Amino acid sequence: MHSIQVHDKIFVPYLSQQQIQQRIAEMAQRLNQDLAHERPLFLAILNGAFMFAADLFRQLTIEAEISFIKLVSYKGTRSTGHVITSIGLDEDLYNRTVVILEDIVDTGKTLHEFLPQIHHQHPRKLLITALLSKPDAREFPVTIDYLGFSVPNRFLLGYGLDYDGLGRNLPEIYQLKE
């Protein structure tokens, strides 16, 4: 891995493709064990979680369903402070085990605003699975049940994470060079 430029910013390597895939395999193994006797609905939050969701879902051996919802809160390298639902939830969650798949939890605002919508549908169990978490950026309490990596409060790019639309396709994760 080497430094890359996206738009006007330089990003340096942070997590390799191998590190990411190894951790996802470990997370899938835990989910397979913990949810062996359930038929969960995995709910991936677009756009960022699409790669994580696909790689994780391929490694599940349990019976499971997947759906997607689009929540938007970022513009450029900063959160807008507003969460917008642009693709809604169509599935009935009543008495279901629901596993939210998130690429990254930083301030926690997105989940803080979205989770009441999920709770309103009375799932039996609600779990949060995130590839990345920035605990130093947290402004709203969020309990992450399955976590890939705890990361510093730096802007990250790649593996589904973008900078103004670019960089999502990178198989590695980079951080903004200071």
pLDDT at residue 166 tops 50: yes
What Cα–Cα distance (Å) separates residue 118 from each residue in 5, 88, 101, 113?
38, 11, 13, 10
Residues 35-67: pLDDT tens digits?
A: 999 999 999 998 899 999 999 999 999 999 999
- Residues labelled catalytic: 106
Q: Chain centroid to CA 35: how far?
A: 19
Q: Is residue 74 predicted with pLDDT exceeding 80?
A: no
CATH classification of the domain holding 134 = 3.40.50.2020
Residue 94: exposure state from Cβ atoms within 10 A (0-12, 13-18, ≥19): exposed
- For 116-157, how does the pLDDT look when each residue is reduced to its tens digit (9 = 90+)? 889 999 999 999 999 999 999 999 999 999 999 999 999 999
Q: Which domain holds residue 64?
A: 4-176
Sign of CA dihedral 136, 158, 108, 148: negative
CA distance 81 to 139: 11
DSSP 8-state secondary structure symbol assigned to residue 118: H
pLDDT at 86 > cutoff 50: no
| Number of domains making up the chain | 1
Whether residue 32 is predicted with pLDDT greater than 90 in this model: the reply is yes
Is it true that the peptide bond before 153 is cis, omega within 30 degrees of 0?
no
Contacts of 158 by beta carbon, 8 Å cutoff, 6+ apart: 11, 167, 168, 170, 171, 172, 173, 174
The reported pLDDT for the residue numbered 91 is 84
- Let me know: does 65 contact 72? Beta carbons within 8 Å: no
Q: What is the pLDDT of residue 90?
A: 78
